[in-house]
Amino acid sequence: MIIEADSIELTYGLKKVLNSVYLRVETGKITGLLGRNGSGKSSLFNVLFGNKKAQNQHIKVNQKVCTKPLYISKRIAYLPQTQLLPKHISIKNAFKLYEVSLELFTKDFPDLKIEHNNNVSRLSGGERRIIEIYLILKSNTNFIILDEPFNHLSPLYVEKFESLFNEEKQHKAILISDHIFRPILRLSDTLYFLDKGNMKLINSENELKDLQYF
């Protein structure tokens, strides 16, 4: 699967956030997106997912122009920056809802001692985020978008997800952004940097330094 977004122009009032943005995501690759706060990463994700309509946008899937929001196809899953799961759903039911195996999750995260009948509201911020990332990652979709998944996660769990992402990319197109950027650098087969509305393809860590990202 190849997803291409081209000539994305997004303006809020007088403020231009995305300026003729191009982005390509494909199965077998992890595509990373970095950018300073407020640079437009979440806005771009929302345009791709179909939550937001840009003033100008061309989105193609396997070279076919898509006029309908991608979320309608059910081939896409999106982890927003904010909480994904409702507070009052039980952990067991959340896995049922996303048709993801709770048994496999327990094998992947044996140290997490979570009572499966408890509601999401009884999880810590990090525990909740681990479950949310896992549900999106293992969902039966071809294209996943993750906005700041690693927020709240301790280093060991970030590492664990790095290996799960590398497994899952074999049959999924993955687009990911995070301010915890070292894992993004390690994971990304293709890396973009969004700066003042413009998208730049990044080939080395030094380029990010030159752009004063860090």
Ligand X SMILES: Nc1ncnc2c1ncn2[C@@H]1O[C@H](COP(=O)(O)OP(=O)(O)OP(=O)(O)O)[C@@H](O)[C@H]1O
Contacting ligand X within 91-110 (CB under 6 A)? none
How far apart (Å, rounded) are the C-alpha atoms in residues 14 and 68?
26
Residue 39 or 188: the one with the smaller Cβ distance to ligand X is 39
Q: How far is the CB of 41 from ligand X (least distance, A)?
A: 4
User: Does 57 contact ligand X by CB under 6 A?
Assistant: no
User: Does 37 contact ligand X by CB under 6 A?
Assistant: yes
User: Does 43 contact ligand X by CB under 6 A?
Assistant: yes
Residue 160 or 179: the one with the smaller Cβ distance to ligand X is 179
Angle at 175 between CA 172 and CA 180, to 5 degrees: 130
Q: What is the DSSP string of 125-191?
A: HHHHHHHHHHHHHHSS-SEEEEESTTTT--HHHHHHHHHHHHHHTTSSEEEEE-SSHHHHHHH-SEE
User: Does 42 contact ligand X by CB under 6 A?
Assistant: yes
Residue choice 22, 28, 38, 159 for contact with ligand X (CB under 6 A): 38
Residue 119 has phi, psi (to 5 degrees) of: -80, 155
> Token pair of 144, please?
């996943």
Give the interface segment with ligand X, choosing from 35-43, 63-71, 85-93, 166-174 (CB under 6 A). Answer: 35-43
User: Does 212 contact ligand X by CB under 6 A?
Assistant: no
How far apart (Å, rounded) are the C-alpha atoms in residues 30 and 57?
22
> Token pair of 46, please?
């929302």
User: Does 149 contact ligand X by CB under 6 A?
Assistant: no
Q: How far is the CB of 101 from ligand X (least distance, A)?
A: 31
CB 112 within 8 A of CB 160: no
User: Does 82 contact ligand X by CB under 6 A?
Assistant: no
Query: Which residues make beta-bridge pairs with 201?
Result: 192
Give the interface segment with ligand X, choosing from 40-48, 62-70, 136-144, 164-172 (CB under 6 A). Answer: 40-48
Give the interface segment with ligand X, choosing from 30-38, 109-117, 127-135, 195-203 (CB under 6 A). Answer: 30-38
User: Does 138 contact ligand X by CB under 6 A?
Assistant: no
How far apart (Å, rounded) are the C-alpha atoms in residues 110 and 105?
8
Map residue 39 onto helix, strand or coil: coil
User: Does 172 contact ligand X by CB under 6 A?
Assistant: no
User: Does 35 contact ligand X by CB under 6 A?
Assistant: yes
Q: What are the residues binding ligand X (CB under 6 A)?
A: 12, 17, 35, 37-43, 81
